[in-house]
Chain A
Amino acid sequence: MDFSWINSFANELLHGLGITLKLLALSGVFGFLLAVLVALGRLSSNPLISAPLRAYTAVFRGTPLLVQIYILYYGVGSVFASYPLIRGSFLWPYLREGFWYVALALILCVGAYVGEVLRGALRAVPRGELEAARAFGMKRLMVLRRVWLPRALELVKPTLVGETVLLLKATALASTVAVTDLLGAANLVRAQTLRVYEPLLAVAVIYIVLAFVIEHVFSRWGKVPQRQA
């Protein structure tokens, strides 16, 4: 075991950590917003809204994330590349990079997985509380923002912590489409120093630390005692 390479590759590792965190934040935030919409849509009584969303969650939960990333990056990416109009456009520098494809795949995945979790949570909120909120004259959006969603999130907090750790682990797949995230940086070090284990072990430690930080942050969130009336 020799970790003397860490000094000379510290920049690469830090850069990789930044990309991993950026992916995590981007897909976490936008994926969560998508998940709320998906959950609400699936609860809708209109089958034109709920049926397509049901198919969406089934497909994204039923296929490997790696395959979804390949479909977007290689499949859709190669279709984009075959149109000169897109190649010439100002969007092309973004469309060429794996980062945005991975981010999109992660967002869609979070939308499906967390959407399913939230659907159950939204249904578990007692009806009477929503009726009470309506009786106070709250508009539908306000009921959602002030009562329905906060109560639902409280119910599934432990699940959401787990999903966030899963999301952190899922970001590692970015390294398969030439994004130098944390694992990608480790692969870079492996290729340049010909050391097999040390870079992987070092990066594994960073992932473990990140996972613990996520759990710690979440367990503090929401601990504020409820104000008694």
Chain B
Amino acid sequence: MSTATRRARARSGEGRTALAYLAPALLVLGALLAYPVYQLVVISFYDYGQEQVSGGAPLEFLGLGNYTTLFSGSRFWAVLAQTVGFAAVCVAGTLLAGAALAVLATRVRPWARTCLFLAALGAWATPAVAGSTVWLFLFDANLGLVNNVLGLDGFSWTYGKWTAFGLVAAEVVWCSFPFAMITLYAGIKAIPGEVLEAAALDGASTRRIATSVLLPLLRPVLAVVTIQSVIWDFKVFTQIYVMTNGGGIAGRNLTLNVYAYQQAFAASEYGLGAAIGVVTTLVLLAITVVYLRALRRSGEEL
């Protein structure tokens, strides 16, 4: 047997073993992720309501009907704009708080840093439902500490559209800035001290070091944190659902995710809900492409 064939046989043996190891993962991911994604697209092409689910009426193929219904109504565009605005505010807040505190953490002695990190880990670890209810209680109209301190007795934060969005955004930033802070802190720590010393020796000011040395070196990490935050904040569900009681009064605090859910499970318009899901997925896929590009530019090896 020649070496080449032996190597080829070894390779195909390797492939078979690899496939055996991968089989459970592929099975689970195929059945519970890939297949539902396919199903989602299929359902979005049908008029799928309560009667169709129970088998009382035949399925009616609508083609792009659900999508035209969606795009011709003003509701969808309003919700889309709200979702983008809400996610943008959350991402900006998360990044600003995370970056500022990461820099702060490098300037203090370990005991202070440990206190900050423990508090942040606490906020991070709090389940979304628990965090949402605690924030609701703190901002409760009559019993809340915030109104008591500010002297706003009886003022409802969740009634007004913008105060409700603001409150939810604050809670989201509270529980998502720790990821940004810890990742950026690790990124800053990974920069060799000599680089900064050299810049300081060359007479660069603190601000100049920050903008011309730190920022470019941190760009890959920043890109990852930014896009991860965009993906998370675009899909916020629990906080909106719990804090605004399912999307606010008359649905004025809906985001795409909650809207899709309400259409499907509250209004029994499964086809329309699936169509909103497809649109959300496409928007996020576009962001994924940017994510992959950013990773490649930062030299991530797959």
Partners in one complex: no
Residues in A lying within 8 Å of B, measured CB to CB: none
Residues in B lying within 8 Å of A, measured CB to CB: none
